[in-house]
Amino acid sequence: MFRFCCSRLAIGAYSLFMMEQKNNPALKGLPIGQRGKMTAKLYKALSPSERTELEKRAKAMPSRRRAKTKAVEKKRRTPSKYAQFVKVNLPKYSQLPHKERLAAVAKLWKEQQKQQQPQKK
């Protein structure tokens, strides 16, 4: 895979020239292929002093920054009553192995639910 390189985002002299020629009225009506050819001819016709000036301006232009993606924070679901119950009561059975501990907490939950049902009616 290719690695990200800041120098690849820098603007070169030809790119700057193309950006400046974007609004050139002589190139406005041309199709994109011919516009590229005409821009290349205009660039090749520049004098060496004009090219060096263009290169200086290109180096002075700030390079484009890579857009940073924001980490999307997912909303956490509120824990169910059972999950809260397990979290509170699991330490009470720390001496038991994990499977038996969960079974004991589940049994305690069922007993508690049976006791609460007659109270609701």
Quote the domain boundaries for residue 114.
81-120
Query: Looking at the domain assignment, is residue 67 inside a domain?
Result: no
Query: Looking at the domain assignment, is residue 69 inside a domain?
Result: no
Query: Looking at the domain assignment, is residue 65 inside a domain?
Result: no
> Quick one: 14 and 54 in the same domain?
yes
How much is the pTM? 0.47
Q: How many domains does the chain have?
A: 2
Query: Looking at the domain assignment, is residue 21 inside a domain?
Result: yes
Residue 46: per-residue pLDDT: 92
Query: Looking at the domain assignment, is residue 85 inside a domain?
Result: yes
Query: Looking at the domain assignment, is residue 70 inside a domain?
Result: no
More confident residue, 9 or 55: 55
* DSSP string over the chain: -PPP-GGGGSPPHHHHHHHHGGG-TTTTTS-HHHHHHHHHHHHHTS-HHHHHHHHHHHHHSPPPPPPPPPPPPPPPPPPPHHHHHHHHHGGGGTTS-HHHHHHHHHHHHHHHHHHHHHHH-
Over 60: is that where the pLDDT of 121 sits? no
